[in-house]
Structure 1
Amino acid sequence: MKTKLLKLALAFFILNAESLLAQFSPEDTVLVDIQKINPRIIVEIKYATEDNFTGKKLYDVPKCFLRKFVALKLDSVQRELEKVGLGLKVWDCYRPLSVQKILWSIVPDERYVANPAKGSRHNRGCAVDLTLVDSLGNELPMPTKYDDFTEKAHRDYYNLPDTVIKNRKILEDVMKKYGFIPLPTEWWHFDAQGWENFSILDIPLKELNKK
């Protein structure tokens, strides 16, 4: 009986995965530069500088690449925020698996860094780290700086000024509206629905930048 149930569950999983993938054309799943989709989204890729928790430059180009269907969702978020004088600044998007291994070697804690043996949503081009900015591009107050590995970065942490809680909620609400899933331990991290259906990649950003 158990074997039969397991087979039925596996069949359902396969059918469900195929159904999700069928929603996307091959063009929807290629990696694209977010600024070619919406140049008003500010790009400040932390791992292309030494201004990150490793203190090292890990990317060879400061670009945000995402699966096209994810980039289009982010474009919708930006357009909605602009109606109230706000916008987005992205800190990280697609991340090569080789970089994931470096991050894991420094912080082997799955609350904050995905185990490269499983692969990150970033490695699939289906995750983005970002924050809110005003109409002049100034960052709005948020709970912590980027890549703060403390409970203050958790979404259920409320010992914060009211303005900060409000800003965090604005970002979370608009991202969820357009199909992004918030990570509980990082207020800045969001995954696109259906990320698990895409393969882990290890393409250097400089190679993507040539296309």
Structure 2
Amino acid sequence: MIGQAICHDYQIIDNKAVDWLQQHSACIELKATQRIICSNEYYQQKLIGTAPEIYTRQSVYLKLLMVLEQLDPYLALYIFDSYRSLACQGALFDQIYNELNQAHPEWSNEQLEVEVRKYVAHPDEPSRFAVPPHNSGGAIDLALVDLRANTALDFGTGFDDPTVLSQTDYFEQDYQPEFGISLERWQLIRQNRRLLFNVMKRVGFVNFTSEWWHYDLGDCLWAKSVQSSWFYPSMEHDVDKLSG
């Protein structure tokens, strides 16, 4: 199953699974272990609204432990980000907007807004997300690291790369030499993305199709994929209590 082609079809959630998510909804600090590496990407970038700690839902953490059980013991999870404050969400939106504006100065504001929203939610856009996925504590951004070589697996792009290459199933298509990627590397990227996608899907996560690194559990993106009317609310107040 882990080597199967990426397919964004998900089973409809049942009440038992929803009950489990609700029972394990506590806000916790995600701490580093031998096989969980906490990068805390936006804190390192000094974005506003960030903290030295990475917070998440207990349910997300427990599911990550299930993922590790299914991976080879030399593979570790590299966590870029999980819970995200609304202030950080706004700062990130502006950052991606500015990056795309520099790369495409010919684009109008409307074009830029549309493109940015493919990769990052705006905190003041409830029409798309009732609760921004990361703000709920149910979203997590991650990759895989080979502990034997202390190197990240090749996923084809860096984290937060706002291009079509970041689409999770992009490398499922036939080889395209115009990107300057060798056939051997193209196939390796496909293999690595399938590995991460299928092991995360197996334990209950869903993937945000525009970003190979972004997975959801119990948030509004997850709810849409599994046809649930329930999803986690904002975790902002819980984080404030835990960190205060």
Q: TM-score, normalised by structure 2?
A: 0.67
Match of 1:113 in 2: 120
What is the number of residues matched between the two proteins?
186
Change (3 A) 1:59 1:91: farther
The answer for the alignment partner of 2:190 in structure 1 is: 165
The code of the aligned residue for 1:178 comes to: V
The gaps in structure 2 that reach 5 residues or longer are 1-12, 98-112, 221-230
Compare relative contact order (CA 8 Å, sep 6+) and give the higher one, 1 or 2: 2
1:69 corresponding residue in structure 2: 59
- State the SS of the aligned residue for 2:162: coil
Shift in Å at residue 128 of structure 1? Answer: 0.5
Aligned partners of 1:97 and 1:201 also within 8 Å = no
Tell me the C-alpha RMSD between the 2 structures. 2.6
For residues 21 and 174 of structure 1, do their structure 2 counterparts lie closer, same or farther at Cα, with a shift above 3 Å needed?
Answer: closer
Indicate the residue corresponding to 2:43 in structure 1: 48
- Whether the 8 Å contact between 1:61 and 1:205 is mirrored in structure 2 is no
Q: 2:19 aligns with which of 18, 22, 30?
A: 22
TM-score normalised according to structure 1 size = 0.77
Deviations 1:23-63 (A, max 9, x none): 3455x111112227x5531110110112xxxxx43354332
Please state how far the C-alpha of 1:202 moved relative to its aligned partner: 2.8
Q: Secondary structure at the match of 1:23?
A: helix
Q: Is the 8 A contact 2:141 2:214 kept in 1?
A: yes
* 1:95 equivalent in alignment to 2:102: no
Q: Structure 1: which 5+ residue stretches go unaligned?
A: 1-15, 51-55
Q: Equivalents in 2 of 1:134, 1:206: separation in Å?
A: 34
Give the distance between the partners of 1:33 and 1:200, measured in 2 at CA. Answer: 16
Q: Is the 8 A contact 2:205 2:216 kept in 1?
A: yes
Change (3 A) 1:24 1:205: closer
Give the conservation status (yes or no) of the 8 Å contact 1:142–1:168: yes
1:183 is matched by which residue type in structure 2?
Answer: F
Alpha-carbon spacing, 1:162–1:67, altered in 2? closer, same or farther (3 Å): same
Q: Deviations 1:116-140 (Å, cap 9, x if unpaired)?
A: 1333211000011000101244211
- State the identity as a percent: 30
